[in-house]
Amino acid sequence: MKVYIDPKFIIQPSIQNMGLRFPDIEFVDNLENDDIEVAMVPWATFITEETISKLPKLKWIQLLSAGYDGTNFDLLKRNNIQFTNAKDIYHISMAEDVLTKILVLNRNYKIYIENMKQGIWKPIRKEPEIYGSTIGILGTGSIAKEIAKRLKAFNTTIIGYRRTQRAEEYFDQVLIGNDGLDELLRRSDYVIVTLPLNDQTRNLLSREKLSLMKNTALLINVARGAIVDQDALTEMLVDNKIRGAGLDVTTPEPLPSDHSLWRLPNVIITPHNSSSSPHLMNRLEILMSENLKRYINGNDLIYIVKE
């Protein structure tokens, strides 16, 4: 059996480790093999008519990212290809990143870092606390749970938003539907976006929805830029209708260097890097090995993605 692993995403030592774990499998790093049965790739953009037509024996695609927006599910169904993602790989580092963005904005570290350059000693009084606040998290998946677990330590109330009603660990309340989203936005001191991008979530936080937020609230987005009306968000940040924003994702990416968001004092931008961690490759190796073992033995794969 041949397994393709994208060499641009998985470093060579990790590919070699996979070879040692599965000596009977041939791991290849190019697609010039029409007998590839498994493909382990970073992005759903791999799933195209052209690519799939060149791989007639392909039975399973292991996505090496958590997000799967843009997936051609019809193509997968037509070719009877199983599809799994890398859930529970990036959640720890992303939760820490969210906490960082909140604290940097709350404690005015952008200002203090600039003051350090000039040797200016100027304290800012009455900086916001997380303690006792209401946190609204859009999404209740593994990333959202890790965020909620950490923020509960600040004696907060955690509200989740999802498509269907179901109690979730670490969440004090879970809201659904349009009215539920409106309530979350009105009540929350911090709104954190962790939802996948799809037809239902694209532009979910429209100008109308953003206007429901408190003017003292922060918006943190570590999901996809297209979930938020970026133009409306920018205007509201300029007018102080929202206190601030921490953005790991934008529209487009990279964000043009002349975009006004770069220069707003109440904004923190990171380059779609909230998952950064030295532990990611090891976690991916464990996932790839576990699922490959299951595939070989004919057992159910973990983290199967359903449309």
> Residue 270 — φ and ψ, nearest 5°?
-120, 150
Does 49 participate in catalysis according to the annotation? no
Contact 184, 163 (CB under 8 A): no
Nearest to residue 144, comparing CAs of 195, 178, 87?
195
Q: Is 169 a catalytic residue?
A: no
**Active-site entry in 49, 129, 208, 253:** 253
Catalytic residue among 107, 272, 283, 294: 272
Q: Are 46 and 39 in contact (CB under 8 A)?
A: yes
Q: Are 210 and 239 in contact (CB under 8 A)?
A: no
Nearest to 161 by CA among 192, 202, 119: 192
Q: Which is the catalytic residue, given 91, 162, 187, 224?
A: 224
Active site residue 253: yes
Among residues 243, 220, 222, 267, the alpha carbon closest in space to that of 127 is found at 243
Residues serving a catalytic function are 224, 253, 272
